[in-house]
Structure 1
Amino acid sequence: MGMTVLSAAQATSDARPWLAHYPPAVPPVIDEAGVGTLADLIRNACETYADREAFESFGKSITFAEVGRAARAFAAWLQAQGFKKGDRIALMMPNILAYPATIFGALIGGYTVVNVNPLYTARELAHQVNDAEARALVVIENFAHVVEEARPNLKLDAILIATAGDLMGFKGTIVNFVARKIKKVVKPYNLPGATVTGLIVPG
């Protein structure tokens, strides 16, 4: 049997068939030299695309500039509280607007992000947070009662409570009211000393 010699382009296409679906303006290989660190990438995106819509939740969108401001505010708060670069910050949230603000803030501040499944039980939460040696935990209020249950076994320096309405302005007040009073998806909790993220991030 004869063998067919494939061109370099054809071989590449066969090895990476997804390239055929890339828009014309997207190169098959990204030049990493000009990107820098992940923190640089975040900062550059927030500056370059400042006026563009970055994230949307419950019908409310925020721009790259807005999420950048919130991220810087969160990073500054962590630094003011004495957290050092490399410290682990745990995030226990679904895709709400506070999530990109806090993950971006942690990364540009030089911290290590630990994502935590919001559906964890108290035992699972304590295991992951302690195993990761996280110093701070940001949790959406819907699951704050789980943190309360796990708290005696947690070695944390700070707990922050986020809400679905964070970074939404007045609409956030409505979103939170519906979640708490109508849908009743926020169970009662008691976490003395916890910080509300809405007091840290603008919006």
Structure 2
Amino acid sequence: MDAAAPWFKNYPPDVPHDVHPEQYRSLVHLLEEAFAQHADRPFSVCMDRWMSYAELDQLSTKMGAWLQSLGLEPGARVAIMLPNVPQFAVSMAGVLRAGFTCVNVNPLYTPRELEHQLKDSGATAIIILENFAHTLGQVLERTAIRHICLSSMGDLLGGVYGSWITFAVRHLAKMVPAFDLPLGPGPGTGSQQRQVTPFTKALAAGAERKLTPSTATLDSTAFLQYTGGTTGLSKGAVLTHRNIVAATLQAHTWFTPALEGRVKAHETHIVAALPLYHIFALTVCLFAMRLGGSLSLIPNPRDIPKFVKVLKKRPVHVFPAVNTLFNALLNNPEFRQL
């Protein structure tokens, strides 16, 4: 045993002491391997609509091709301001496969917080749910954002059902405040006008183009992951492809022995209630991809009664959360019946 690492004596015998991120060229390599290996398996379910790994592969290819068509600089920062909906994984994988950098943004940011993060990251494009476009509209003219991909809640939930969900969110629940996205040129953009493209139209445009494979390496920047800002302004942690691959392999190394004998790896089901724009939940999402498991996407875990209804529908094997969420569930009478 390495004397410099005495904690190894506490490792279970089937947990190796090292991981080897260099087995992958980049995080994109890990993702595309998962898409190929698990193509026919379910990846996620949201509002009872399932997405397979093959669909995630196809949709993220289209999103990546559309992003490349915008003429962004190599490694350009693309902000993703989405809750836990199917569009998140499609956007994240699309940004990475296009050779760009993901900037995860909390959809509940105030205008001041959003302006700081967009300016600090240098993001020139953003993929955002229309529910939060009113916040973006208040700061857009003071940022370098030139391309806005605007999504609605039902975009990837299928035809009539998806249209109904979008209508209900907009007009019944009234969860989409009025917004204005000024289309004049932003600072540092010369005369280039801002463009707003609906999410589904971006996918349709990407389908007409060919995705140029990413040339990212393990040392390329994959994410600018912003801190909570509890001690001042939120700071962007620079996470390379190597960082994220290593974290994913670590999760896989520790979770796999714990699941062995309980469930087949590809049948592992994970609850994605924590926001995927946080690194905790994002790491678990990437672990699920490598495993071939599936996710229950919870767009609004604060609605505990609806959340409990989701938990009733299928077995759960991994449930990452924080104390406040666990406590809220334990105080729900319906949860006690599960």
Give the shorter-chain TM-score range.
0.7 to 0.9
AA of the residue aligned to 2:201? L
Question: When the two structures are superposed, what TM-score results if normalisation uses the length of structure 2?
Answer: 0.52
Q: Does the 8 Å CA contact 2:79/2:127 hold for their aligned counterparts?
A: yes
CA 1:133 to 1:11, structure 2 compared with 1: closer, same or farther past 3 Å?
A: closer
Aligned equivalents of 1:78, 1:84: Cα separation in 2? 11
How far, CA to CA, are the matches of 1:28 and 1:183 in structure 2? 51
Structure 2 counterpart SS, 1:126:
helix
Shift of 1:60: 1.0
Of residues 123, 128, 136 in structure 1, which corresponds to 2:125?
136
Q: What residue identity is the alignment partner of 2:89?
A: P
Aligned residues: CA RMSD: 2.2
Q: Which amino acid aligns with 2:79?
A: A
Is the Cα–Cα contact under 8 Å of residues 81 and 129 in structure 2 kept in the other structure? yes
TM-score, structure 1 normalization:
0.84
User: Which amino acid is the alignment partner of residue 110 of structure 1?
Assistant: G
Which structure 2 segments of 5+ residues have no match? 1-5, 184-194, 205-338
Per the alignment, residue 145 of structure 2 pairs with 156
Deviations 1:24-48 (A, max 9, x none): 8x86754434333100111111111
- What's the secondary structure of 2:8's corresponding residue? helix
The secondary structure found in structure 2 opposite 1:188 is coil
> What is the CA–CA distance in structure 1 between the aligned matches of 2:38 and 2:103, rounded to whole Å?
27
Q: Does 1:68 align with 2:25?
A: no
8 Å CA contact retained: 2:149, 2:199: yes
- 1:7 corresponding residue in structure 2: none
Q: How does 1:1-203 map to 2 (within 5 A)?
A: 12=8, 14=10, 16=11, 19=12, 29-170=18-159, 171-191=161-181, 192=183, 193-201=195-203
Q: Which amino acid in structure 1 is aligned with residue 128 of structure 2?
A: V
Closer/same/farther in 2, CA of residues 34 and 126 from structure 1, 3 Å limit: same
Residues 40 and 108 in structure 1, CA contact (< 8 A), matched pair in contact too: no
Structure 1 spans left out of the alignment, 5+ residues:
1-9
Mark the CA change 1:11 to 1:115 in structure 2 (over 3 Å): closer, same or farther. closer
| Aligned-pair identity (%) | 31
3-state DSSP class of the match of 2:124? strand
The 3-state SS of whatever aligns with 1:137 is: strand
- Secondary structure of residue in 2 paired with 1:114: strand
> CA shift at 1:201, angstroms?
2.6
| Alpha-carbon distance in 2 for matches of 1:103, 1:124 | 21
CA distance in 2, matches of 1:142, 1:173: 15
Greater relative contact order (CA < 8 Å, ≥ 6 in sequence): 2
Report the number of matched residues.
Answer: 187
Instruction: Report if aligned partners of 1:98, 1:163 keep a CA contact under 8 Å in 2.
Output: no
Q: Distance between the aligned counterparts of 1:163 and 1:132, measured in 2? A: 25
Larger-Rg structure? 1
The Cα shift of 1:63 comes to 0.5
